[in-house]
């Protein structure tokens, strides 16, 4: 497999194998992708090839659901490459790849983790003093523990950071400093100081000066009437204020969001009412749980209607392009009076729920359910033709989906129907099948007549009427059925609780796949196999070069994005 294809799979899947599970990020580049020695010996053409893949995925196509693997790979290359010219190429590409403060601080964080000779407790993310390090550090001892502090950036990194801040517009710089004083252990003040960033623009100088002041000092000393600087001063004033009326005016004037609100006024309905219209839909979903914990969403509260109105805003819902599984997760959590998907967090919260006697608002539940149904029509299409096969047996109605990122109340059949309806309602050609227990020719499978007009509840009820105690689940059945019926598809999607159950020997139905391709005269048909509750990889024998199949364990909104890119043949 080519280096470009390896990189492409890594930045989308987290490794080079045809398998994906949404989980922990490993801050290391797999040796089968690129070893340290191979990185040191990279030629200019190979380096350009890697950067082209990264820029296409992140900038032109925007196909990666997170930039973590991209940044880890770039840090790895900068660490091991010796040629200054190649390092310069990488920094130039990085200027295009990193577009926000979160990614910038993640990049610096990963440099810390990947270049430290030994792990040390850090006061802020920094890198150890080594030949390959981009930042020198000093280690001191405080209260008997070593503390690593930042002291210096290399010339290459300083030049990159100077260009990166120069590239930001006045408005972008203002928004970054106003919204985030610190992310991933890094403040603007840390970066600007260590990189010796100098601004020629007078307005930018004023903005940056504010980043070096404490909030109280900034409010007391700043007399400048410049609108940009005034916004920063007002944000600082809002964060320090305990007057709901003053904060409400500032929020309304500058359209501030949740991150700007002072924690002391989280319980103020007046402040929330001014903030709600400016929230992104994903932020709004998170704030629903916060407001519930603060006991502000009672049946008598006027704020409840305001939140319900915001949840019913179809414009912001369409702009968010959230997958229905994300809305359904929030609905299930709220309806069951929960906030966290992790049991540890929810156990502690349950005590608070019992103490305050928190009760989910019927108004909010209704609005969340409506938004969930509408989200099927808001999610973007891929243009692919699909044949989706669901395992509609009794066990799928009891088993819960595998994922710490989703509500433990979501069953495998619910997730299956959500996936099927999402594709059915947005793609031009989708056929839905289900495994049966009837051994007829082609045997063990039939059409499941779900309709685009069906709601989620209607689809679940329809599936229940056709539920079977056991099914003849096997990966070759959809291929045989499609060949017999003459169905044409770009991708076959098989959804079950366990892929191992459908392929106990870990073998692909190669013979059936080839027979189907020959029958319909299509050579580039692909296959996604989705196991909703079993994390075990079924096709362990498949190597990185395998492009015909993608195996997935569990299902989240991130999983949906990976599936979409596979449908578009980006991966």
Residue-wise pLDDT for 541-566, tens only, equals 777 667 789 999 999 999 999 999 99
Cα separation, 125 vs 405, in Å, equals 27
pLDDT in tens, 273-330: 999 999 999 999 999 999 999 999 998 899 999 999 999 999 999 999 999 999 999 9
Cα 436 to its chain centre, rounded Å, is 35
- For residue 123, name the pLDDT band (cuts at 50, 70, 90): very low
Cα separation, 490 vs 563, in Å, equals 13
Q: By the 8 A CB rule, do 114 and 27 touch? A: yes
Query: For residue 434, which of 490, 379, 493, 486 has the smallest C-alpha distance?
Result: 493
Cα separation, 57 vs 246, in Å, equals 44
Token pair belonging to 344: 């540890």
Neighbouring-strand partners of residue 153: 135
Cα separation, 473 vs 416, in Å, equals 15
Architecture of domain 381-568: 3-Layer(aba) Sandwich (3.40)
Between 507 and 404, name the one with better pLDDT.
507
% of the chain with per-residue pLDDT over 90: 57
Cα separation, 20 vs 559, in Å, equals 8
pLDDT at 440 over 80: no
pLDDT at 59 over 50: yes
- For residue 479, name the pLDDT band (cuts at 50, 70, 90): very high
Q: For residue 354, what pLDDT is reported?
A: 77
pLDDT at 97 over 90: yes
Token pair belonging to 488: 């044409």
Which range of 205-209, 217-221, 480-484, 499-503 scores highest in mean pLDDT? It is 480-484
Q: What are phi and psi of 87, to 5 degrees?
A: -60, -40
Token pair belonging to 165: 């801040």
- For residue 442, name the pLDDT band (cuts at 50, 70, 90): low
pLDDT mean over 360-369: 96
How far lies 335's CA from each of 238, 272, 311, 328, in Å? 33, 22, 15, 10
- For residue 119, name the pLDDT band (cuts at 50, 70, 90): very low
The three-state (H, E, C) secondary structure of 366-381, written as one string: HHHHHHHHHHHHHCCC
Helix spans in 17-132 (H):
36-40, 44-55, 68-80, 84-97, 101-115
The DSSP letter of residue 399 is P
pLDDT at 74 over 50: yes
Residue 150, helix vs strand vs coil:
strand
pLDDT mean over 487-506: 91
pLDDT at 331 over 90: yes
Token pair belonging to 190: 């840390």
Q: In the chain, what are the domain boundaries?
A: 3-115+151-216, 279-379, 381-568
Q: For residue 138, what pLDDT is reported?
A: 45
pLDDT at 148 over 70: no
pLDDT in tens, 214-268: 555 555 555 555 677 788 888 888 888 889 999 999 999 988 888 888 888 899 9
Could you list the beta-strand ranges (E) of 198-301.
none
Q: Which helix (H) or strand (E) holds 540?
A: none
Q: For residue 120, what pLDDT is reported?
A: 30
Q: If 0-12 CB within 10 Å is exposed, 13-18 middle and 19+ buried, where does residue 6 land?
A: buried
pLDDT mean over 144-172: 78
Least confident window among 61-75, 110-124, 138-152, 502-516: 138-152
Residue 483, helix vs strand vs coil:
helix
């Amino acid at each position: 497999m080519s280096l470009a294809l390896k990189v492409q799979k890594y930045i989308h899947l987290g490794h080079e194998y045809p398998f994906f599970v949404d989980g922990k990020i490993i801050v290391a580049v797999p040796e089968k992708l690129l070893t340290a020695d191979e990185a040191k010996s990279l030629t200019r053409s190979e380096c350009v090839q890697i950067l082209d893949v990264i820029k296409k995925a992140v900038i032109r196509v925007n196909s990666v659901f997170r930039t973590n693997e991209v940044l880890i790979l770039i840090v790895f290359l900068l660490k091991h490459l010796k040629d200054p010219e190649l390092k310069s190429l990488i920094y130039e590409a990085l200027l295009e790849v990193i577009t926000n403060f979160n990614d910038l601080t993640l990049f610096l964080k990963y440099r810390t983790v990947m270049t430290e000779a030994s792990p040390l407790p850090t006061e802020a993310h920094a890198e150890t003093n080594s030949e390959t390090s981009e930042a020198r550090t000093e280690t001191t001892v405080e209260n008997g523990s070593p503390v690593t502090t930042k002291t210096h950036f290399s010339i290459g990194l300083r030049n990159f950071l100077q260009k990166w801040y120069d590239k930001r517009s006045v408005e972008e710089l203002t928004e970054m400093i106003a919204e985030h004083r610190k992310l991933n252990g890094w403040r603007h003040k840390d970066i600007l100081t260590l990189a010796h960033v100098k601004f020629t623009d007078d307005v930018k100088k004023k903005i940056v000066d504010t980043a070096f002041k404490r909030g109280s000092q900034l409010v007391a000393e700043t007399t400048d009437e410049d609108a940009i600087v005034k916004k920063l001063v007002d944000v600082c004033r809002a964060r320090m204020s305990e007057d709901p009326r003053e904060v409400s005016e500032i929020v309304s004037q500058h359209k501030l969001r949740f991150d700007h609100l002072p924690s002391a006024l989280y319980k103020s309905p007046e402040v929330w009412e001014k903030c709600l219209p400016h929230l992104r839909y994903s932020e709004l979903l998170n704030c629903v749980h916060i407001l519930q914990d603060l006991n502000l969403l009672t049946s008598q509260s006027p704020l409840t209607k305001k939140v319900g109105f915001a949840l019913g805003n179809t414009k912001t819902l369409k702009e968010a392009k959230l997958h229905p599984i994300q809305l359904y997760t929030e609905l299930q959590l709220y309806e069951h009076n929960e906030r966290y998907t992790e049991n540890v967090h929810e156990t502690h919260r349950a005590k608070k729920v019992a103490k305050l006697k928190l009760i989910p608002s019927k108004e909010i539940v209704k609005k969340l359910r409506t938004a969930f149904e509408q989200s099927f029509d808001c999610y973007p299409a891929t243009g692919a033709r699909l044949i989706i096969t669901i395992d509609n047996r009794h066990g799928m109605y009891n088993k819960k989906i595998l994922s710490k990122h989703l509500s433990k109340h979501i069953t495998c059949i619910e997730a299956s129907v959500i996936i099927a309806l999402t594709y059915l309602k947005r793609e031009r050609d989708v056929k839905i099948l289900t495994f049966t227990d009837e051994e007829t020719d082609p045997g063990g499978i039939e059409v499941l007549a779900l309709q685009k007009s069906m709601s989620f509840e209607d689809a679940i009820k329809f599936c229940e009427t056709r539920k079977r105690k056991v099914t003849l689940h096997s990966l070759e059945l959809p291929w045989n059925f499609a060949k017999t019926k003459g169905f044409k598809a770009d991708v076959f999607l098989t959804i079950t609780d366990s892929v191992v159950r459908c392929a106990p020997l870990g073998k692909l139905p190669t013979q059936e796949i080839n027979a189907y391709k020959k029958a319909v005269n299509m050579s580039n048909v692909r296959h996604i196999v989705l196991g909703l509750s079993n994390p075990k990889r079924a096709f362990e024998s498949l190597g990185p070069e395998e492009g015909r199949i993608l195996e997935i364990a569990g299902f989240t909104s991130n999983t949906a994005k990976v599936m979409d890119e596979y449908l578009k043949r980006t991966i």
